[in-house]
Structure 1
């Protein structure tokens, strides 16, 4: 498959992961079993995931003038991601606290400089796919999509923000959401992933994808066709990076010339592999691992 170019407009966060025996009750002090620090942020994670999946990647972001911002630039350089980052003189680099209990997580986000990304700093380079999430301001995403030229515009409408997503849907070619986010955008469609994808596909230019955890993912084309990719059985350790792994691999496949079905399978394979490793960035799989899982025939 050819190597395509993915431009990602999105966030970087320094992730602080607390591994808990259980969630604390109101007013309770609870000792964590372990503390881990990882680089994170949906935009950064997805950029790295796309690069590891074989794409050429450019990252557009806003960072603080602090050590965490320096770490982001160093990380992207190591991962082969070209950075187009502005440095905010006052706001700190974003941070997320991730409460991990078994294979489930709860995330508390302090966005910091991510929310200072301006439309003027969001013009993507010539590329095949422009990928955005909702951890940066909607006007910046709208500007990036408006300047995308012939690139496919993929919106991962996460974290759930119905107002921002609704504003951006008319500019979006492919919408990518999990089941909970899909229900927030199409509450009348019920809980079935295929029905949700079909309802959302009518609001965007090409297609809507709904990821459904262990059930895999569904892609509905605007106009009717529905594609499904089941998830292979894996030993789940941490689901934190699974959605970002899916998004990055899905967009890398599209940018490289894959059709929707092949891109959907690549996304499911990458998301499944990510569940087996602790931490977002450490869990993002490389192209060879994704290809090996696809070759096993467990993602059809």
Structure 2
């Protein structure tokens, strides 16, 4: 069967160390642990959607190094269609991650093979896009590729989700009208809108500006404070479940993947947001990126408890 959720984006090997705190500029700290974990926002969101009940395909690139085969195998293990995950000469993408004792993190990304994902790459797998119900994109692959994916998704009449991560500036103006759901966190909403998002009111102002720019609907994720939904008609704040955080890595990706999976299963927007919130909350109670992402059974058990 065609995948209902198609994720276009990055695959990275996460090189993760834990330390008592994040280092200052020029400082060397003694770390506590080190591990290599499959990640990348695209792959994380694909894994989340698959574990949370979606039929998922991934479009991306891995390198010809050892990490490349490991990244592909990690997706295949989750039952994700990898026919559109191409191998290109050179190194795979990597992310250098430091997590402190308060579960905050700092991340440096090296694109590697993710930079080889081009509009031509997507054209070669147009049949995968045609079979989708929901198309999910982020910003860890070339911008022209993301722009093509958004445009093609709109042409095909699919539900288009953009998680603008990482974002440091406004999106191209012509993109907004192509997006059904724009899902930034606080810092991303600030970068896109020019409004410093540090409260519910400023999140509303940022979301309003993004709607005025042309985005269909906006969901600003607010971490432990929940999420703000805006559709141009009004706002709704959805409170996050309370949990004890261990590691916030991939919480946003889990939310996006869970939201996409729920939409593809016919859930309402509100139901899909709450489903994504529960999944994200469960993810922060565990360490790592993909290892922290819960299953549909986990979410159902949490809701029932």
- The normalised TM-score by structure 2 is 0.90
Matched, 1:135 2:144: no
1:4, distance to aligned residue in structure 2 (A): 7.3
Q: Counterparts of 1:103-122 in structure 2 under 5 Å?
A: 103-122=103-122
Provide the secondary structure at the position in 1 that maps to 2:218: strand
Provide the secondary structure at the position in 1 that maps to 2:208: helix
Provide the secondary structure at the position in 2 that maps to 1:76: helix
**What is the aligned partner in structure 2 of residue 169 from structure 1?**
176
Matched, 1:25 2:20: no
Matched, 1:51 2:50: yes
**What is the aligned partner in structure 1 of residue 268 from structure 2?**
259
1:233, distance to aligned residue in structure 2 (A): 1.2
- Kept after mapping to 1: 8 A contact 2:179/2:215: yes
User: In 2 relative to 1, CA 205–185 (structure 1 residues): closer, same or farther, beyond 3 Å?
Assistant: closer
**What is the aligned partner in structure 2 of residue 235 from structure 1?**
244
1:144, distance to aligned residue in structure 2 (A): 1.8
**What is the aligned partner in structure 2 of residue 249 from structure 1?**
258
Provide the secondary structure at the position in 2 that maps to 1:250: helix
**What is the aligned partner in structure 2 of residue 269 from structure 1?**
278
1:163, distance to aligned residue in structure 2 (A): 4.7
Provide the secondary structure at the position in 1 that maps to 2:240: coil
1:121, distance to aligned residue in structure 2 (A): 1.3
- Kept after mapping to 2: 8 A contact 1:40/1:281: yes
Once the two structures are superposed, residues 186-224 of structure 1 have per-residue CA deviations (whole angstroms, 9 ceiling, x without a partner) of: 124754323322332233442001000110111111x31
Correspondent of 2:167 among 144, 160, 166 = 160
**What is the aligned partner in structure 2 of residue 151 from structure 1?**
158
Provide the secondary structure at the position in 1 that maps to 2:213: coil
**What is the aligned partner in structure 2 of residue 213 from structure 1?**
223
- Kept after mapping to 2: 8 A contact 1:62/1:85: yes
User: In angstroms, what is the RMSD of aligned CA positions?
Assistant: 1.8
1:147, distance to aligned residue in structure 2 (A): 2.2
Distance 2:67 2:211 in 1: 38
- Kept after mapping to 1: 8 A contact 2:170/2:191: no
Provide the secondary structure at the position in 2 that maps to 1:202: helix
For structure 2, which runs of at least 5 residues remain unmatched after alignment?
none
Corresponding pairs, count: 292
For structure 1, which runs of at least 5 residues remain unmatched after alignment?
none
1:53, distance to aligned residue in structure 2 (A): 0.8
Matched, 1:286 2:291: no
**What is the aligned partner in structure 2 of residue 93 from structure 1?**
92
Distance 1:156 1:94 in 2: 19
**What is the aligned partner in structure 2 of residue 198 from structure 1?**
208
Distance 2:72 2:3 in 1: 22
Distance 1:71 1:55 in 2: 22
| Higher alpha-carbon deviation: 190-199 or 152-161 | 190-199
- Kept after mapping to 1: 8 A contact 2:22/2:106: no
